[in-house]
Amino acid sequence: MSLEKILSIAGKPGLYQIVTQTRSGVLAASLMDGKKITVSARENVSLLSEIAIYTLTQEVPLADVFKHIAKKENGGKALSHKSSKDELEAFFFEVLPDYDEDRVYASDIKKVVQWYNLLVDTGHTDFELPQSQDGTEEE
Enclosing domain of residue 44: 3-48
Task: Give the pLDDT of residue 133.
Answer: 45
CA–CA distance, 112 with 114 (Å, rounded to integer) = 5
Is there a contact between 36 and 47 (Cβ–Cβ < 8 Å)? no
Instruction: Answer whether residue 137 is part of any domain.
Output: no
- The tens digit of pLDDT for each residue in 2-46 reads 788 999 999 998 999 999 998 889 999 999 999 999 999 889 999
The pTM of this model reads 0.86
* Cα separation of the two ends of the chain: 18
Do both 55 and 103 map to the same domain?
yes
Residues 34 and 72 grouped into a single domain: no
Domain of 34: which CATH number? 2.30.30.730
Residue 134: the pLDDT is 47
Q: Across the chain, what does the average pLDDT equal?
A: 89
Amino acid at 52: A
CATH number at residue 60: 1.10.10.1650
Same domain, 44 and 63: no
* pLDDT value of residue 18: 94
More confident residue, 127 or 65: 65
* DSSP 3-state of 110: helix
Under 8 Å between Cβ of 28 and 9: yes
pLDDT at position 126 is 79
> What gap in Å lies between CA 111 and CA 121, rounded to an integer?
15
Length of the chain, please? 139
Q: 10 Å Cβ neighbour count for 39?
A: 19
Same domain flag for 113 and 57: yes
Structural domains counted in the chain: 2
3-state secondary structure of 117: helix
24 and 68 assigned to the same domain = no
Residue 68 has pLDDT above 50, yes or no: yes
133 occurs within a structural domain: no
Helical (H) or strand (E) element with 39:
strand 36-40
